[in-house]
Chain A
Amino acid sequence: MATITVASPANNIICSLADAEGRVLGPPLDLPQDAGPKELQLLLNTILQTEEKLPFAFYINDKELSSSLGAHLLQNKVSVEQILQIVYQPQAVFRIKPVTRCSATIAGHAEAVLSVAFSPDSRQLASGSGDTTVRFWDIYTQTPLFTCYGHKNWVLCIAWSPDCKQLVSGSKDGELRMWDPTTGKAVGNPLTGHRKWITGVAWEPAHLQVPCRRFASASKDGDVRIWDTVLQKSVLCLSGHTLAVTCVKWSGDGFIFSGSQDCTIKVWETTQGKLIRELKGHGHWVNTLALSTEYVLRTGPFDHTGKQYSSPEEMKKAALVRYTAAKRDSPERLVSGSDDFTMFLWEPATGKHSKARMTGHQQLVNHVYFSPDGRWVASASFDKSVKLWDGYSGKFITTFRGHVGPVYQISWSADSRLLVSGSKDSTMKMWDMKTLKLREDLPGHADEVFAVDWSPDGEKVASGGKDRVLKLWMS
């Protein structure tokens, strides 16, 4: 720190450091012009008294600081008359290598692959297909592991429990089934209750209950049902939507969010199934929802280190630590994407009014996803573009263009530095958050790509599509 402040006082700039929510850290600092991100990082680590050296990214007026302070100010014409506010954002301590090649193309499904999901501990991979089967894949040998028959129609969605012990799949005839990933056998009988196809499944977060027992499912018939895997039945039926429910999310605070084609998002409480809030604003179908803590909730106690847990209590504790770290004493944020080409940013815990409206897409928004650190929101749209937004304010950052067909699905890498998108034009593309540009073009599928998933440990990307094969991509 001493080395930084020694430079001649004439060229110094008075700065203050603030975090992403705008809280200023300590008194203003007198910094020399030749200080760059490296020096600022050193300084910040000393001020925050972190034990290890954490990486940070610095922003001045939403522009990332990449060179020295003086050069950056000159280039972007920032006034130094006022106290300069530098926003710091913590970066992931690990770095995930971008995937560059297709390591395996595994055939097996007899119809289009509709959903692909890695288990939270990244050791298993499952896919649901139009040939009515769920398949488990061995990602180490890149071969099929189990084929699970049982559904009577297309398997539309699959979801791993956060403790990796179960997989739930929902089909087009409204049945849900549970599978044991170690044997590939069905657990219990099919769960019936929905009258139409299943559109989404969300498990209860691991920090609320381990071993995982409850999950919520959304259906075309307009109901959200909460199921208990031990009792093997529907515990609650949350009805209230007048049209099909398109998306369901289980938040870390224990609420259920459901987005529907009746243009509303409803917030439910999970013990009695009471409606708490109704978020209105969209002018057309709500297609998709994303939570700022979604990635952490999905992966539960498992992180990039690949640590395994022996007891449920330990798991629960680890999940809670990860959840609170990701939430960082601000309420959870929700983003909804809609058929009216816009998105809304909500804070459902504080109020029913939206925080920001995100406009810019020229076609419907099909998928939105918060980055694992909650800093960014990416949205995939049928206008062939992926847009990036600020996760806190909802401000537009950039557009990723390159696809020549509608973009169906996106998936973040665990370190929030890369994003992969799958499109109707049969390619996947990887986008870099540092340069805000296309990082890698991943051609290989012979037809539309319906599902993309990046494994939580960052090693692999799996994708499936209309050409009936599952592809694994590696660095």
Chain B
Amino acid sequence: MPQGDHIDLARKRHGYRPDYFERNRKKDAREVHKRAAFAQKALGIKGKMFAKKRYAEKAIMKKTLAMHSERTNRHKADDQVQEGAVPSYLLDREQTARAKVLSNTIKQKRKEKAGKWEVPLPKVRPIAEDEMFRVLRTGKRKTKQWKRMVTKVTFVGPGFTRKPPKYERFIRPMGLRFTKAHVTHPELKCTFNLEIIGVKKNPNGPMYTSMGVITKGTVIEVNVSELGLVTPAGKVVWGKYAQVTNNPENDGCINGVLLV
């Protein structure tokens, strides 16, 4: 048990012993030799334990040294020539994720005329009519069966006005109407939440296209103006096609891939 801080007190009053620092230096200098002698002598579990402790110490030491010389070291990564060269006036600026320029605009137009696209999902499961629609019975005795309710997700344009219920053959439920889609840019590998402009083609038939039914494989047009895409002529692209890759009626959201 320590009996008070008499050593400290003596040092405060009289200072260090004249040979204090010299002795300490020598002790430190001898320490390494002592350890080395011990390391050679220690056998069995003692030796193993010592070696393990020493190994851990050395690893930490190496790490700290590396950390200190981090700033002065020449890093290999800096010397390598990186992709995506930019001029000096852009070097210090933060580069935001860049949208690709559409070099194949002409091709796209041609495809549009033919009504055919090379799409990520070339084939979809055909959906039968009785799966797409539910029959609603109407009339006082509920005997009339001409009314249908769409059971899939639909897109209804902002300018849509309902017809009088008497003439409304197809009902597109409010809960299944969508205005936005999560669209992935395949080259940028990032996803944006974009507004839907319209339904371009539903693979199940032109009737569904005109009704705006969105099922898996449907080609929709989305508003990409905020992506900053530019045509080769320097115009901002605002509408682009995307294909739906999930079953929106099951998932509650529309996911798609941009067709570029």
Contact = CB atoms under 8 A, between A and B. Distances in A.
State yes or no: do A and B come from one complex. Answer: yes
Interface of A: 111-112, 114-115, 129-132, 152-154, 156-157, 172-173, 197-200, 220, 244, 246, 261, 287-288, 366-367, 403-405, 408, 423, 425-427, 429, 441, 443-447, 450-451
7 contacts: A131-B81, A153-B79, A156-B91, A366-B89, A404-B230, A427-B234, A450-B86
Nearest to B233: A443
A182 B228 CA distance: 43
A408 B89 contact: yes
A114 B233 contact: no
Given A132-B81, A173-B79, A446-B103, A451 B87 contact: yes
Residue picked from B85, B91, B228, B230, most chain A C-beta under 10 Å:
B85
B234 A426 contact: yes
B101 interface: yes
Contact of B232 (A197, A199, A200, A445): A445
Given A152-B79, A244-B92, A112 B84 contact: yes
Contacts of B39: none
Nearest to B80: A153
Contacts of A446: 101, 103, 232
A288 B232 CA distance: 28
Contacts of A220: 91-92
Given A426-B101, A446-B103, A156 B232 contact: no
A408 B87 contact: yes
A197 B87 CA distance: 11
A288 B88 CA distance: 11
A447 B101 contact: yes
Interface centre among B87, B91, B228, B233 (most CB of A within 10 A): B87
Contacts of A288: 89
A404 B87 contact: no
The 8 closest A-B pairs by CB, nearest first: A130-B85, A427-B234, A443-B233, A156-B88, A112-B85, A114-B87, A199-B88, A154-B85
Nearest to A244: B92
Given A112-B85, A115-B87, A450-B87, A443 B234 contact: yes
A153 B88 contact: no
Contacts of A287: 89
Contacts of A114: 85-88
A198 B78 CA distance: 15
Nearest to A111: B85
A115 B87 CA distance: 7
Q: Which one of A130, A198, A451 has the highest number of Cβ atoms from chain B below 10 Å of its Cβ?
A: A130
B235 interface: yes
Nearest to A129: B85
A425 B102 CA distance: 11
B260 interface: no
Interface of B: 78-79, 81, 83-89, 91-92, 101, 103, 228, 230, 232-236
Contacts of B88: 114, 156-157, 197-200, 246
Contacts of B86: 112, 114, 130, 450
Nearest to A287: B89
Contacts of B84: 112, 130
B89 A426 contact: no
B81 A405 contact: no
A450 B91 CA distance: 12
A200 B236 CA distance: 33
B81 A154 contact: yes
A197 B91 contact: yes
B77 to A, nearest CB: 12
Contacts of B92: 220, 244, 261
A197 B89 CA distance: 11
A111 B84 CA distance: 7
Contacts of B228: 405
A330 B190 CA distance: 56
B96 to A, nearest CB: 11
Nearest to B235: A404
Q: By CB atoms of chain B within 10 A, which of A154, A200, A429 has the most?
A: A154
A425 B85 contact: no
Contacts of B235: 404
A445 B92 CA distance: 24
Contacts of B83: 111
B230 A425 contact: yes
A445 B234 CA distance: 9
A425 B234 contact: yes
- Interface hub of B89, B91, B228 (most chain A Cβ within 10 A): B89
Nearest to B103: A446
B85 to A, nearest CB: 2
A174 B96 CA distance: 26
Contacts of A408: 87, 89
A129 B81 CA distance: 12
A153 to B, nearest CB: 6
Contacts of A111: 83, 85
B85 A441 contact: no
B101 to A, nearest CB: 5
Nearest to A114: B87
Nearest to A404: B236
Contacts of A404: 230, 234-236
A404 B235 CA distance: 7
A425 B228 CA distance: 9
Contacts of A157: 88
B88 to A, nearest CB: 4
B131 to A, nearest CB: 45
A148 to B, nearest CB: 16
Nearest to A382: B93
B30 to A, nearest CB: 44
A445 B102 CA distance: 11
A443 B232 contact: yes
A6 to B, nearest CB: 54
Nearest to A465: B87
Given A114-B87, A153-B81, A220-B91, 17 more contacts: A111-B83, A111-B85, A114-B86, A114-B88, A129-B85, A173-B78, A198-B88, A200-B88, A403-B234, A404-B235, A423-B234, A426-B101, A427-B233, A443-B232, A446-B232, A447-B101, A450-B87
A101 B85 CA distance: 27
A153 B234 CA distance: 31
Nearest to A451: B87
Contacts of A246: 88-89
A183 B77 CA distance: 33
